[in-house]
């Protein structure tokens, strides 16, 4: 059964008619338009074998074909139409499509959401027309699509590459897609599809990713994103892709305020929190890259081989300096090049010259110049090491016919990799194009070759290794939050927040409310030790900023501390509602963590964990995940923190029970989900961890709508 998703229940489920049309209509065709001329020329250049119809109300002959006055007048079935008409004519064009039974349309026309509020309203109306007439709509403001497998082009500028392969490229920017495809072609990377989604009034990147998961011709899916829409569909499609062993590689802009503004001007869309997108990629097995070079390099590698997940990488070269550069780049990329096993080192001693040293990366020394077969013998040894999951040979492939030493090396490496069970890649030393001669030479010798250079190549290997460790996808967390209950008032203050967390299984520091100095003194005495006094007010989020906190208060000083807190707050915030003063036992030792949940506008509830207390804003050391999460996910988050060593008793500090801490943090995430969709954020700061004692010391809830005062 086809598991493809359908974002619109009333829209056609299949995109085959759009991406694999047997008959095409060019609506608004005219030889006075470079868009029309380009689209028609591309169909001929790519060798489209289907029917092409041109439509223009004036009729006549256009591009050598008799023009129909409308789509209805064609009189034959048409699968997809390319609309090149002005914005004011779009509505009539859609009515014509509907009457002609055309269920797929590509809209080149601009002047919609990218132009501002008026354009956004026009785009919303356009989306409504697509739903009304059950049309799969690509665009508006897009360059179209190319299907290299079936030789189909609904593309309005020059073809960026003609090289067919197994990499699909889906881009919200048509011009950027063209640049990416052109670079891929220079690197010898062939494409299965290019799809430019433009403003995404109907079809989004997410739905196209979902289609490509089931496309047999596509092995890798590349994305260029300015923003993310329909994240639920994208997440589900990414999980299907990971389970199917089909990598998704994403280049997304929006890491700085400057690019965020540029994206808004270009697409009419806001760029979401970049770190949330990063977290989503980690959870969904999406490989995130930050440049066109890295996108193409990673796709090039994964389109040709699959490294073994969890296994190590070994590299060989004919230069000690190159080996050292490779080692440095591997460390910078987070790629482990571990020491070889004793067995492998002993075996290499048998084939290496006496002055060589078996090491990873392996310097074959100048002996390989006299004896190119040393490449093959070394690869054979590494192939027999069960801990090695990928072998990288660092050597340039010739770009033109030549004989002699290089040809001998390529032959030896090709024979060795062909006989090996371990995946192998030939990686150029410096970036260089991969012309037809190099590509055919690699194919002749059965080589996977990357001409991207050491820096990009090593980074691509690191990304591929990370992806291999994610596949197959681990089960999604099956946690269920305890219900908040319809009759429970939404927490509005710190105490109400902590009380709610207790109902969700979160350990909370004891606290008692005092409304006068005498009560404060009595509560302090009940705790049998120094206490903390904190103002309790639904209007004050940061209590220490207004003098609302007293720490390490002795029992006999509690009454005075109460007065001090009340006076300070009354002076700083005379408008604030005051419930009283909370009295809690003083906790002296432990690691203070922040655990927060915020609702991202694209991805929904997102959990952040980091160093808490007063340090959170200074160090900004945190890890993010989309909710829900399980304890295993949180353990991974804790391991990502730069301050992670503090949890293990750094310099005599307390050793924290990480598993119990992870469980408590997961419960806080569950609690946030239980509060429902109107929750803007939930924050526990600090969550104190000391050995096996984990306690929430402070809690804050922010709502999207005002909370009624307690009666």
Task: Tell me, letter by letter, the H, E, C secondary structure of 673-703.
Answer: HHCCCCEEEEEEEEEEEECCEEEECCEEEEE
pLDDT at 287: 98
For position 707, what pLDDT does the model report? 62
Query: Which range is most confident: 50-64, 110-124, 309-323, 588-602?
Result: 50-64
Confidence of residue 412 (pLDDT cuts 50, 70, 90): very high
Q: What is the pLDDT of residue 615?
A: 62
Q: What is the mean pLDDT of residues 416-443?
A: 96
**Omega of the bond leading into 309 within 30 degrees of 0 (cis):** no
Residue 538: pLDDT band by 50, 70, 90 thresholds?
A: confident
* For range 159-170, the mean pLDDT: 97
pLDDT band at 455 (very low <50, low <70, confident <90, very high): very high
Query: Among candidates 296, 282, 39, 24, which has minimal Cα distance to 144?
Result: 39
How many beta carbons lie within 10 A of that of residue 479, not counting itself?
16
Q: What is the mean pLDDT of residues 58-80?
A: 97
End-to-end CA distance of the chain: 56
What pLDDT band is residue 7 in, cutting at 50, 70 and 90?
Answer: very low
Question: Residue 3: pLDDT above 60?
Answer: no
Which pLDDT value is given to residue 614? 60
Domains annotated on the chain, with CATH:
16-301 (3.40.50.261), 307-470 (3.40.50.261), 510-585 (3.30.1490.20), 591-703 (3.30.470.20)
What is the spatial distance between Cα 583 and Cα 586, in angstroms, rounded to a whole number? Answer: 9
pLDDT of residue 269: 32
Rounded to the nearest 5 degrees, what angle is found at the Cα of 622, between the Cα atoms of 620 and 627?
A: 140
Band of residue 675 on the pLDDT scale cut at 50, 70, 90? very high
Q: Which residue has the tokens 């440049």?
A: 291
Tell me the C-alpha distance between 282 and 297, whole Å: 19
- As a three-state string, the secondary structure of 148-185 is CCCCEEEECCCCCCCCEEEEEEEECCHHHHHHHHHHHH
- Mean pLDDT of the residues in the chain: 90
Q: Work out the average pLDDT over 464-468.
A: 93
Choice among 18-27, 36-45, 114-123, 156-165 with the minimum mean pLDDT: 114-123
Q: How far apart are CA 315 and CA 338, in angstroms?
A: 10
* Alpha helix segments (H runs only) across 63-163: 90-100, 117-132
pLDDT digit string, tens, across residues 328-364? 999 999 998 999 999 999 999 999 998 999 999 999 9
17 vs 482, which has greater pLDDT?
17
Q: Which pLDDT score is estimated for 214?
A: 97
- Calpha distance 646→632 (Å, rounded): 19
The pLDDT of residue 474 is above 60: no
CA distance 407 to 410: 5
pLDDT of residue 616: 61
167 is written with which tokens? 């990499």
pLDDT at 480: 55
- Per-residue pLDDT of 233-252, as tens digits, reads 999 999 999 999 999 999 99
Which pLDDT score, from 0 to 100, does residue 621 have?
80
Q: What is the arithmetic mean of pLDDT over 571-598?
A: 92
Mean pLDDT of 660-679: 95
Mean pLDDT of 552-557: 95
Q: Which residues contact 645 (CB under 8 A, 6 or more apart)?
A: none
Q: Is 404 left (phi over 0), alpha (psi -120 to 50) or beta?
A: left
User: Does position 144 have pLDDT exceeding 80, yes or no?
Assistant: yes
Which residue is it, tokens 């922040």?
594
The pLDDT of residue 33 is above 70 = yes
Res 161 pLDDT > 80: yes
Highest mean pLDDT among 140-154, 484-498, 630-644: 140-154
- What value does the mean pLDDT take over residues 367-388? 95
Please compute the mean of the pLDDT values over residues 654-658 and round it to a whole number. 91
630 vs 255, residue with greater confidence = 630
The two tokens of residue 200 are 């995404």
pLDDT at 395 over 50: yes
**Long-range contacts, stretch 515-523, CB < 8 angstroms, 24+ apart:** 515/580, 515/581, 516/562, 517/558, 517/559, 517/560, 517/562, 517/563, 518/559, 520/558, 520/559, 520/561, 520/562, 520/581, 520/583, 521/555, 521/558, 521/559, 521/562, 523/558, 523/583
Q: What is the pLDDT of residues 92-111, one digit of tens each?
A: 999 999 999 999 999 999 88
Query: What's the pLDDT score for residue 265?
Result: 37
pLDDT score of 272 more than 80: no
> Tokens 């960026």 label which residue?
160
Residues with Cβ within 8 Å of 251's Cβ and at least 6 positions away in sequence, in order, are 222, 223, 224, 225, 288, 289, 290, 291, 292, 294, 295
Q: Rounded to whole angstroms, what are the CA distances from 535 to 497, 577, 580, 616?
A: 14, 10, 6, 22
């Amino acid at each position: 059964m086809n598991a493809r998703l359908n974002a619109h229940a009333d829209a056609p489920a299949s995109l085959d008619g759009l991406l694999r049309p047997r008959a095409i209509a060019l609506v608004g065709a005219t030889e006075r338009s470079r868009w029309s001329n380009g689209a028609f020329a591309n169909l001929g250049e790519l060798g489209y074998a289907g029917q092409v119809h041109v439509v223009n109300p004036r009729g006549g002959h256009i591009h050598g074909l008799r023009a129909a006055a409308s789509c209805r007048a064609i009189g034959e079935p048409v699968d997809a139409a390319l609309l090149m008409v002005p914005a004011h004519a779009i509505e009539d064009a859609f009515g014509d499509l509907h009457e002609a039974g055309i269920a797929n349309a590509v809209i080149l026309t601009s002047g919609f959401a990218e132009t501002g509020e008026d354009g956004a309203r026009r785009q919303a109306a356009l989306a409504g027309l697509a739903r009304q007439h059950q049309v799969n709509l690509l665009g508006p403001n897009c360059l179209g699509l190319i299907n290299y497998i079936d030789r189909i082009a609904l593309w309005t500028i020059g073809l960026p590459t003609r090289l067919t392969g197994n990499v699909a490229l889906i881009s919200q920017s048509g011009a950027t897609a063209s640049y990416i495809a052109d670079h891929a072609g220079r690197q010898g990377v062939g494409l299965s599809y290019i799809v430019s989604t433009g403003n995404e009034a109907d079809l989004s990147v997410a739905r196209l990713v979902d289609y490509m998961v089931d496309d047999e011709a596509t092995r890798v899916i590349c994305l260029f994103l300015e923003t993310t829409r329909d994240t639920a569909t994208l997440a589900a499609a990414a999980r299907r892709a990971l389970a199917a062993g089909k990598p998704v590689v994403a280049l997304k802009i929006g890491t700085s305020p400057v690019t965020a503004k540029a994206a808004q001007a270009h697409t009419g869309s806001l760029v979401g929190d970049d770190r949330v997108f990063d977290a989503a990629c980690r959870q969904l097995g999406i490989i995130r890259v930050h440049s066109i070079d890295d996108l193409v390099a990673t796709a090039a590698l994964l389109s040709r081989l699959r490294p073994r997940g969890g296994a190590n990488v070994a590299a060989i070269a004919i230069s000690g300096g190159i080996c050292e550069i490779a080692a440095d780049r591997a460390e910078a990329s987070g790629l482990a090049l571990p020491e070889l096993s004793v067995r492998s080192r002993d075996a290499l001693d048998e084939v290496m010259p006496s002055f060589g040293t078996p090491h990873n990366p392996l310097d074959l020394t100048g002996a390989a110049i006299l004896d190119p077969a040393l490449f093959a013998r070394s690869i054979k040894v590494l192939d027999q090491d069960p801990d090695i999951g990928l072998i990288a040979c660092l050597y340039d492939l010739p770009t033109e016919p030549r004989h002699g030493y290089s040809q001998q090396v390529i032959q030896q490496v090709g024979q060795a990799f062909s006989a090996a069970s371990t995946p192998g890649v030939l990686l150029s030393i410096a970036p260089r194009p991969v012309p037809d001669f190099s590509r055919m030479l690699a194919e002749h010798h059965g080589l996977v070759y990357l001409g991207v250079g050491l820096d990009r190549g090593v980074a691509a290997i690191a990304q591929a290794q990370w992806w291999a460790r994610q596949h197959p996808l681990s089960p999604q967390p099956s946690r269920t939050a305890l219900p908040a209950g319809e009759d429970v008032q939404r927490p509005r203050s710190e105490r109400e927040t902590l009380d709610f967390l207790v109902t969700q299984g979160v350990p909370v520091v004891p606290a008692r409310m005092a409304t006068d100095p005498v009560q404060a003194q009595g509560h302090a005495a009940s705790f049998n030790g120094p206490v903390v006094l904190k103002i309790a007010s639904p209007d004050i989020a940061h209590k220490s900023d207004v003098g609302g906190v007293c720490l390490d208060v002795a029992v006999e000083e509690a009454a005075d501390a109460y007065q001090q807190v009340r006076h300070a707050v009354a002076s700083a915030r005379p408008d604030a509602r005051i419930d009283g003063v909370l009295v809690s036992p003083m906790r002296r030792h432990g690691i203070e963590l922040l655990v927060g949940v915020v609702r991202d506008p694209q991805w929904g509830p997102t959990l952040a964990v980091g160093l808490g207390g007063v340090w959170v804003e200074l160090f900004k050391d945190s890890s993010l995940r989309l909710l829900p999460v399980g304890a295993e996910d949180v353990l991974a988050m804790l391991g990502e923190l730069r301050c992670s060593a503090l949890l293990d008793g750094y310099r005599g500090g307390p050793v924290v029970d990480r598993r119990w801490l992870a469980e408590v943090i997961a419960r806080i995430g569950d609690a946030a989900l239980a509060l429902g969709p109107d929750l803007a954020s939930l924050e526990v700061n600090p969550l104190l961890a000391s050995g096996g004692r984990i306690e929430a010391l402070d809690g804050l809830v922010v709502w999207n709508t005002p909370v009624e005062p307690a009666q």
